[in-house]
Amino acid sequence: MTQKKSATWLLGVFSQARELSFEAGNMIRRQWPLASSVAHKDRIDLVTETDLAVEKFLKERLLELVPDSTLMAEESYSGEALGEWTWIIDPIDGTTNFVHRHPFVAVSIALCHNGQIVTGIVNIPMLNECYWAVRGHGAFVNETRLHVSHTRALDQSMIAFGIPYSIDKDLEEWISHFYPILPKAQAMRRCGAAAIDLSYVAAGKFDGFYEAGLRPWDVAAGWLLVEEAGGCITRYNGEPYYLGAYDIVATNSLIHQELTGMLLS
Ligand code: IPD
Ligand code: CA
Ligand code: CA
């Protein structure tokens, strides 16, 4: 049965979820100076005990915030579909960064209602930056409102990109997208955490970001951040993005056509 909820209710849920993202961030901070036990999900796809501990903590606490909500979380995902209310969680986006103690690691939490993200939180504990958005209320970092950049051309743009764990199999396809953009953009950057890439597009630090092979937990929170900050998100071919789509391109809107044109060339 569809549950109708008020805007005040949603703001309350968001605020409690943000508190939980701070607690999760503190778990990461406490582990920072200590050694982590690392396991391989694949050749270069890692998981640490901290990924698992943060996910367990968030799972238990987030499900209590919205009655009958379900959860889609990276480390325990086993093919569940979205429900009416679903929490979409990446306990640590940037696990490889975490293993190397590079500070670009984020806790990403989104709440999805009937397929639409209604709140998104990307907490970057080692930088003391918490990016967040509530649908219809704008996007923020800590308490500062965000807006995408005003850059109008690719040759004045800083473009972020990702490298999938399947790069050994997908190298040619990956290069075919990177190759034309590299000499045209002003600069290109790789964060190693898609949630941070999207947050930085929302903040106007990056003018655009593209990656293929991402999963819903990598992008759910950042998607809302970019849209609430005035940006645009589509597939490489310009069609509407949906959770689980193979590729994603996020921009300040102004360079969207130029960047998607390069991704298709
Ligand atoms: C990864 C990061 C990375 C992206 C990978 C993701 P993880 O997530 O977002 O930037 O390039 O495709 O899987 O494994 O660190 O949670
Ligand atoms: Ca991730
Ligand atoms: Ca992760």
The conformation of residue 83, written as its DSSP 8-state character, comes to -
For the question of residue 218 being annotated catalytic, the response is yes
Query: What is the tens place of the pLDDT at every residue in 16-55?
Result: 999 999 999 999 999 998 878 888 988 888 789 999 999 9
By CB atoms closer than 10 A (0-12, 13-18, 19+), residue 262 is buried
Residue 71 phi, psi (nearest 5): -140, 140
What domains lie within the chain, and their CATH numbers? 3-145 (3.30.540.10), 154-263 (3.40.190.80)
For residue range 166-196, list pLDDT tens digits in order.
888 889 999 999 999 999 999 999 999 999 9
What per-residue confidence (pLDDT) applies to 121? 98
Q: Could you tell me the pTM of the whole model?
A: 0.96
Residue nearest atom 12 in ligand 1 by C-alpha distance: 164
Active site (annotated) includes residue 90: yes
At 201-214, the pLDDT tens digits run: 999 999 999 999 99
Catalytic pick among 211, 218, 227, 228? 218
Cα distance between residue 62 and residue 47, in whole Å: 21
Read off the tokens for 168: 């050994």
The answer to whether the beta carbons of residues 155 and 185 sit under 8 Å apart is yes
